Amino acid sequence: MPMEDQKEIEKLRSELNEHNYRYYVLAAPIISDAEYDHLLNRLRDLEKKHPELFSPDSPTQRVGAPIQAGFSEVVHLTPMLSLANAFSEEEVRAFDAKVKKLLGHEVGYTIEPKVDGLAVSLRYSHRRFFQGATRGDGERGEDITLNLKSLRDIPWDLPEYAPQEVEVRGEVYLNKADFERLNEERLDKGEAPFANPRNAAAGSLRQLDPRVTAGRPLHFWPYAGSGLRGITTQYQVLTDLEGLGFLRPNGLPDFLQNRLIRNIDDALALFKIFNDRRHEVPFEIDGMVIKVNSLKDQEALGFVGREPRWAIAYKFPAIQKTTILKDIQVQVGRTGSLNPVAILEPVEIGGVVVSRASLHNEDEIERKDIRIGDAVLVQRAGDVIPQIVMPIKERRTGEEKLFQMPERCPVCSSHTVRLPGYAMRYCTGGLSCEAQLIERLKHFAGRRAMDIEHLGSQLAKSLVEKKLVQSIADLYFLNKDSLLTLERFGEKSADNLLESIEKSKERPFSKVLFALGIPEVGEVTAKYLAEHFMSIDLLGRASLEDLEAVPGVGPSISESILQFFGEAHNQNVLERLAQAGLNLQQRAKKQRPLDGLIFVLTGRLERFTRPEAQSRLEALGAVVSSTLTKKANFLVAGAESGSKLEKAQSWGVPVLEEEELLRMLDESTSSEETSPHVTVDLKGRS
């Protein structure tokens, strides 16, 4: 046997034991799950190659980590083992073939989501919850009974028809939205963020002070039970657990339902659905679990090492990897904002090579203590722009460098400023800065703004570089001869562009207002401003108080609008846009039943989704705001309403339940069809 293999085996075992301790005990890993799996698979391959080096203490044969000091020890009735992982269709088919070969007959499977949480065991005696424990090292776990009692998903008492002695196993997890809030709170306190919801759940549950756990919204997802009567299949186990009070959250996507399948082809088809729609789940799932359905077959198959032969976890492509932050570059946005961008050592995440990631702003860099040269944990989930979750400080060498935002614009060399109350630093070059003008042109021509077809990034850049466009108004004074001077721009292209520019003059005032790119004035705010002031002249003469009377417009947006109209250059642009014939005033609109009324939605709605509710309200003239202020006319409170409900009650803002909202919508719709003048009863429960 080569000495190199023996040394690598020893090194891998040592590294994996260290990573297990950081993952299971400290809830603070320094490598991603994908990298851990890579190390573990490499060790497995080497141990298969050299069976004479087998050790029962190897990380391939054990699960978890030793008990943390401060917790009592619990011996599990049966070992809490982990699942074998599959990362390809071939590995899943190999699992299926092996199961059928060992059993000698066809098998059915259950399909369950692999919830990315902390595995725990719950024991009931005389139908009362008396002991809860972590997985620990698989044989022994930590007694966290008091902490688990703070979870609303875990019943303290089972129904009278339940068996006297029951054990339930499952995952404790944290919803993604709650994870984001928890990390924000930690960063604000100067504490290190959790790497992902799983580590946040583990760190929250394994607290020596149960009050800390009680303050965090943890949930429980059951996946196994023993001591149940008359049960012969895994599917029956899951169904029985629901009957005992272990309920799953309402409103989950349909593909998460317990499923029975006849063959492995059905499992592979379901995996594609799981992977494509995983972003719809409010908590993290990192794969799909395939289990032999028959408990008799499970018993016959047994275990190998630390894993059952009758189940496998088909893992999604990783969304997190660690890599090196090589540099931080600064890009200039259309409003002049300086946006730091991480330049990374290229790394493949979920089948895509990632070499850049968002860093948001200088405060975020400082809060997370991110430095050039750091090893960093990078995340790419769905279509979200890759972002740096956290630096791996334990891997610092002392060569890392602190980052500072530049005092001069990297494009036009103008001074940069950071205004009080703003997170971003801005270039003062205005439209003299080519970077801003190019981005403003792209925004102005965008589909949601002036919808000028054929005006993309490359053409915008060419128009600015050739000095054909030095303000957005110049677009409307272009001619065919000047366009033909552009490289690779023929007569057909020129005709198409000019036709599209001419057509854009028909866009309504609200779209023109949005297209101007006034900082902090988005599409919805532009619509409300257009409807309130009716023309660009009246908007330009509005005072701070006038502006703040518009729904959704606060001091920050008002100040931004005043600054925009106070610039002589912007006034010149508006005059030229008026000369070009753009719509700078709002057409008279039909009065609607809920015109001007401000609604805020909170909690979970049962009869329709929030976007559906918002769409129906806005169609009747209402303003739907995400922020509750004393100016709101109604708060619509769904299930599990939080602090907004308490604020509304203390401020005297009328509160509507979902049924009351439905009644109001139906009555308003009916009234609108028969009469344009409708009076809405401004009442609700308070």
| pLDDT at site 559 | 83
In this structure, the answer to whether residues 308 and 330 fall within a common structural domain is no
Report yes or no on 67 lying in a domain: no
| pLDDT at site 672 | 59
- Domain hosting 26: range is 3-53
In this structure, the answer to whether residues 333 and 246 fall within a common structural domain is no
| pLDDT at site 677 | 42
Report yes or no on 686 lying in a domain: no
Q: How far apart are CA 316 and CA 271, in angstroms?
A: 9
The answer to whether residues 434 and 441 touch, using CB atoms and an 8 Å cutoff, is no
| pLDDT at site 685 | 47
In this structure, the answer to whether residues 309 and 343 fall within a common structural domain is no
In this structure, the answer to whether residues 206 and 267 fall within a common structural domain is yes
What number of other Cβ atoms are within 10 A of residue 551's Cβ?
22
| pLDDT at site 384 | 62
In this structure, the answer to whether residues 475 and 339 fall within a common structural domain is no
Report yes or no on 592 lying in a domain: no
In this structure, the answer to whether residues 144 and 252 fall within a common structural domain is yes
DSSP string computed for 496-537: HHHHHHHHGGGS-HHHHHHHTT-TT--HHHHHHHHHHH-BHH
Averaged over successive runs of 10 residues, the pLDDT of the chain (686 residues) comes to 79 83 70 80 84 78 59 90 89 95 95 93 95 90 90 91 95 92 86 84 83 88 94 95 89 87 93 90 93 96 88 88 94 86 89 86 90 92 75 91 92 79 77 77 92 91 90 92 91 94 94 88 88 90 88 82 80 91 81 84 85 85 81 87 85 90 84 50 48
In this structure, the answer to whether residues 78 and 208 fall within a common structural domain is yes
Contacts of 281 (CB under 8 A, 6+ apart): 113, 252, 253, 256
Which residue, 293, 315, 337, sits at the end of a domain?
Answer: 315
**Which CATH number does the domain housing residue 401 bear?**
2.40.50.140
Q: How far apart are CA 376 and CA 347, in angstroms?
A: 11
In this structure, the answer to whether residues 556 and 625 fall within a common structural domain is no
In this structure, the answer to whether residues 123 and 210 fall within a common structural domain is yes
Which residue, 486, 506, 526, sits at the end of a domain?
Answer: 506
**Which CATH number does the domain housing residue 221 bear?**
3.30.470.30
Q: How far apart are CA 542 and CA 210, in angstroms?
A: 55
The answer to whether residues 308 and 95 touch, using CB atoms and an 8 Å cutoff, is no
Report yes or no on 64 lying in a domain: no
Report yes or no on 659 lying in a domain: yes
Report yes or no on 236 lying in a domain: yes
Consecutive H or E run containing 268: helix 264-277
Active-site residues, by number, are 114
**Which CATH number does the domain housing residue 633 bear?**
3.40.50.10190
In this structure, the answer to whether residues 234 and 195 fall within a common structural domain is yes
The answer to whether residues 304 and 56 touch, using CB atoms and an 8 Å cutoff, is no
Which residue, 315, 331, 352, sits at the end of a domain?
Answer: 315
Strands 320-332 and 338-349, how do they pair? antiparallel
Q: How far apart are CA 104 and CA 654, in angstroms?
A: 67
Tokens representing 554 are 């606060």
Count up the domains in the chain and report the number: 6
| pLDDT at site 594 | 86
In this structure, the answer to whether residues 460 and 392 fall within a common structural domain is no
Report yes or no on 307 lying in a domain: yes
pTM of the model: 0.54
| pLDDT at site 679 | 44
Report yes or no on 292 lying in a domain: yes
Q: Tokens 């317990």 correspond to what residue?
A: 258
Residue type at 308 in one-letter notation = P
In this structure, the answer to whether residues 482 and 514 fall within a common structural domain is no
**Which CATH number does the domain housing residue 444 bear?**
1.10.150.20
DSSP string computed for 171-199: EEEE-HHHHHHHHHHHHHTTPPPPSSHHH
**Which CATH number does the domain housing residue 37 bear?**
1.10.287.610
Q: Max CA-CA distance within the chain? A: 91
